[in-house]
């Protein structure tokens, strides 16, 4: 059995299939024990620092509750009220936190080119696991929960299953690219047929697209990019319609230095979104997928924009079991990276 003790968890691409299987098997065991009411005090007296540069509901609560259930303590840190806001470097912050605890979990996802680099710079300076709670490149705790949910629904052999990862309209804000990027790179590892759909301009980071193609070639799956939501949904087993920002505008956000520039960039992204209001997951589109197809979303979904109430609250939706699995996968990641063996 492989060991992840002391390892970082920054992108699923960093792990082997055997290591991913270890996390999934550990998730299953922890979930079963949770539902039986059995204690899993695998990290007694350990401290995990949760450093957030962005808002969170599922991720923060999954890691806080998860660490408590593992017997440790999760310490929430808002980057805006730490010395990070005064310019303290990732290396210096990491050295201090690592000297006081046993793992550092980070969400830093809003600006392309920043979050993933921040985590890797901190990793270079520390000797405790760095766990990515979402960056600009990947959301590996979410997609591991997605994969766990798919396995629970379809079984462990996912070869040949078709998943439609589609852009969808949202009027709320320009959302990170990390969820679709994480989905295309992880699901292709397991032999799935991945169809990525988005309008012009909503392309993803090229290296994640290249990884998806390479993964599919290795696993026997497939990967395609289409410009039509209906095409992606056709005969799909799983549909995952999710909004994300305009690539060029997300890149341009790196240069924004004032609140006014950031707000203008956001307005430009939303104006572009408004051109594609018909990219919504509704009952008609669900009818294009297989009768047995399931609807997934990382949440929160923009109801009435990304998806209709009839779909997200309907019998094909598995978003709430998917959300619960955030807890169990978070516990698996922490227990596997912060101790020698999970059990």
- Asked, colleague to colleague, whether 12-138+326-338 and 140-322 share their fold, the answer is yes
At 99-145, the pLDDT tens digits run 999 999 999 999 999 999 999 999 999 999 999 999 999 999 999 99
What is the predicted pLDDT for the residue at 257?
Answer: 78
Three-class DSSP category at 158:
coil
CA–CA separation, 147 and 158 (whole Å):
10
Cis, bond preceding 247 (omega within 30 deg of 0): no
The alpha-helical segments, DSSP class H, found in 10-89 are 17-36, 58-69
The 10s digit of each residue's pLDDT in 265-311 is 999 999 999 999 999 999 999 999 999 999 999 999 999 999 999 99
Can you tell me the distance from the alpha carbon of 336 to that of 115, in angstroms, rounded to the nearest whole number?
Answer: 23
Given a contact cutoff of 8 angstroms between Cβ atoms, the answer to whether 321 and 35 are in contact is no
What pLDDT is recorded for position 39? 97
Q: What is the mean pLDDT of residues 52-64?
A: 97
CA separation for the pair 28, 136 (Å, rounded): 28
β-pair partners for 107:
52, 134
Is it the case that residue 1 has pLDDT exceeding 80?
Answer: no
| CATH class of this structure's domain 12-138+326-338 | alpha beta
Token digits of residue 250 = 């997300």
By the 10 Å C-beta count (0-12 exposed, 13-18 middle, 19+ buried), 152 is classed as middle
CATH of region 140-322? 3.40.50.1370
Q: Would you state the pLDDT for residue 208?
A: 98
200/63 Cα distance (integer angstroms)? 36
Cβ–Cβ < 8 Å for 281, 307 = yes
Residue 256 above 90 pLDDT?
no
> Strands across the sheet with 238-241, in order?
222-226, 193-197, 162-166, 238-241, 294-295
Lowest mean pLDDT among 46-55, 163-172, 248-257, 296-305: 248-257
User: Quick one: tokens of 207?
Assistant: 């290296």
Query: In the predicted model, is pLDDT for residue 254 greater than 90?
Result: no
Q: Which residues contact 247 (CB under 8 A, 6 or more apart)?
A: 177, 201, 202, 203, 204, 205
For residue 342, pLDDT over 80 is answered with no
What the block records as the tokens of 226 is: 């289409």
* pLDDT category of residue 341 using cuts at 50, 70 and 90: low
Give the residue among 6, 104, 87 at the shortest CA–CA distance from 52: 104
Measured distance between the N- and C-terminal CA atoms of the chain, rounded to whole angstroms: 12
Q: Give me the mean pLDDT over the 145-168 stretch.
A: 98
Which of 120-124, 126-130, 257-261, 327-331 is predicted with the least confidence, judged by mean pLDDT? 257-261
pLDDT of residue 5: 96
Res 336 pLDDT > 60: yes
Note the pLDDT tens digit of each residue in 72-90: 999 999 999 999 999 999 9
* CA gap 242, 229 in Å, rounded: 11
Q: What pLDDT band is residue 255 in, cutting at 50, 70 and 90?
A: confident
Q: Where are the domains of the chain?
A: 12-138+326-338, 140-322
């Amino acid at each position: 059995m492989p060991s992840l003790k002391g390892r970082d968890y920054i992108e699923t691409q960093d792990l082997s299939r055997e290591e991913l299987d270890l996390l999934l098997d550990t998730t299953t065991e922890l979930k079963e024990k949770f539902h039986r009411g059995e204690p899993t005090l695998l990290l007694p007296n350990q401290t995990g620092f949760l450093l957030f540069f962005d808002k969170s509901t599922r991720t923060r609560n999954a890691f806080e509750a998860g660490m408590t259930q593992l017997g440790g303590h999760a310490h929430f840190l808002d980057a805006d009220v730490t010395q990070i806001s005064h310019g303290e470097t990732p290396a210096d912050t990491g050295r201090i936190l690592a000297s006081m605890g046993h793992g550092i979990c980070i969400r830093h996802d809003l600006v392309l080119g920043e979050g993933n680099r921040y985590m890797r710079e901190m990793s270079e300076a520390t000797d405790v696991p760095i766990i990515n709670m979402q960056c600009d490149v990947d959301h590996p705790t979410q997609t591991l929960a997605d994969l766990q949910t798919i396995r629970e629904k379809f079984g462990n052999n996912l070869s040949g299953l078709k998943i439609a990862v589609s852009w969808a309209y949202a009027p709320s804000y320009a959302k990170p690219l990390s969820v679709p990027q994480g989905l295309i790179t992880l699901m292709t590892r397991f032999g799935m047929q991945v169809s990525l759909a988005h309008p012009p301009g909503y392309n993803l980071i090229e290296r994640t697209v290249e990884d998806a193609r390479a993964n599919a070639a290795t696993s026997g799956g497939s990967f395609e990019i289409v410009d039509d939501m209906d095409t992606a949904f056709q005969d799909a087993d799983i549909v995952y319609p999710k909004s994300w920002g305009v690539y060029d505008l997300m890149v341009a956000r790196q240069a924004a230095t004032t609140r006014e520039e950031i707000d203008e960039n956001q307005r430009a992204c939303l104006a572009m979104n408004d051109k594609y209001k018909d990219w919504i997951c509704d009952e008609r589109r669900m009818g294009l997928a297989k009768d047995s197809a399931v609807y997934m979303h990382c949440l929160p979904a923009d109801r009435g924009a990304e998806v209709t109430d009839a779909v997200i609250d309907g019998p094909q939706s598995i978003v709430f079991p998917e959300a619960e699995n955030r807890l169990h996968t978070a516990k698996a990641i922490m227990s596997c990276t912060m101790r020698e063996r999970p059990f």
